[in-house]
Chain A
Amino acid sequence: MPDEPPFDLAGCLERVRRNDQQAARELVEHLYPLVIRIVRARLPRRVPEEDLAQEVFLKMFSRLHQYQGSVPFTHWVSRIAVTTCIDHLRAQQRRPEFRWADLSENEANLLDAVMTNERAVAPDDALEASELVHKLLNQLKPDDRLVIQMLDLEQRSIAEISEHTGWNTTLVKVRAFRARRKLQKMFRELQRKERT
């Protein structure tokens, strides 16, 4: 089976600028995997992923005339997706305090075991660990959450985060530091409180 030719992004953008709707559809289909991965990783509660992806693409088309080509187009779209998710996360009410009661039985058992034994999580518990990590991340400010998620979960470098968010590297480091401090505080609080 012959390989598909690489997508001509520059040519496609040129056609979209000339109001070619077929090119615009091709652009959406080409960028959808990138956008949906960003949206899924930072999806706010109660917001369907498709609605958020739709919002990202509509913003992309409405701001297309602002794109000057100083950064790769995919980075520019990533920034739109990231800021759209952050705006939705900011609009959500965060819980003032994280409690044991917020966790399912399995998550609470896992956290208890990890905190008391400081042992590695068993492969069978990976799904609970993932849920738990996301619940903890939800307690952070959206900007801090994004940085720590990209650093620790997606294992991106500071420079990569800077490219995808448009924030300078110092700001990324400050946000990472703030997020880690908040996480440490949360763990200490949980350890201090009796599990009910």
Chain B
Amino acid sequence: MTPEDKVWQNLVSAARSVRDDRTTAAPYGFATRIVAQAFAAESRPAPMLLDRFCWRALSVAGLLAVAGVAANYTVGLRSEEEMPLDETAVTAVFDIS
């Protein structure tokens, strides 16, 4: 046993001697409140579950949108660089130069 272990064992053996005299009985009304909540949650309608998944779907959609913009941003920059200086998008599409 290292000296540090000895210090720890001294402290925990003293800590073990402290008695917890607090009551362990459920407070008045606790069981009624818990049961009411638990049974209410069980009879929760399906749209509530849908609400929960909607937020997840929204965040996934947001992430995909950001990823899409990021991916296309570099492609857009590249095609702009490839376009001759005297051509604009309009002249390129309609070939009016």
Contacts and interface: CB of A to CB of B under 8 A. Distances in A.
Contacts, number: 114
Q: How large is the interface on B (under 10, 10 to 19, 20 to 34, 35 or more residues)?
A: 20 to 34
Contacts of B9: 152
A118 B22 CA distance: 32
B15 A153 contact: yes
A188 B38 contact: no
A180 B11 contact: no
Interface string A84-108: 0000000000000000000000000
Nearest to B6: A118
A25 B10 contact: no
B79 to A, nearest CB: 47
A58 B25 contact: no
Nearest to A188: B4
A84 to B, nearest CB: 14
A191 B27 CA distance: 44
Contact of A25 (B27, B35, B37, B41): B35
A2 B39 CA distance: 35
B38 A57 contact: yes
Contacts of A153: 12, 15-16
A136 B35 CA distance: 37
Interface in B1-19: 2-18
Contacts of B70: none
A119 B9 CA distance: 11
Contacts of B13: 120-121
A26 B16 CA distance: 32
Contacts of B38: 24, 57-58, 61-62
A132 B4 CA distance: 15
B34 interface: yes
Counting from the closest, the 8 A-B pairs by CB-CB distance are A121-B14, A129-B14, A61-B38, A33-B24, A32-B26, A28-B31, A130-B15, A187-B4
Interface of B: 2-18, 20, 22, 24-27, 30-35, 37-39, 41-42
23 contacts: A19-B39, A29-B26, A32-B30, A36-B24, A40-B20, A54-B33, A61-B42, A62-B41, A111-B7, A111-B11, A114-B11, A118-B6, A120-B14, A121-B10, A121-B11, A126-B14, A126-B17, A126-B18, A152-B8, A153-B12, A180-B8, A183-B8, A184-B2
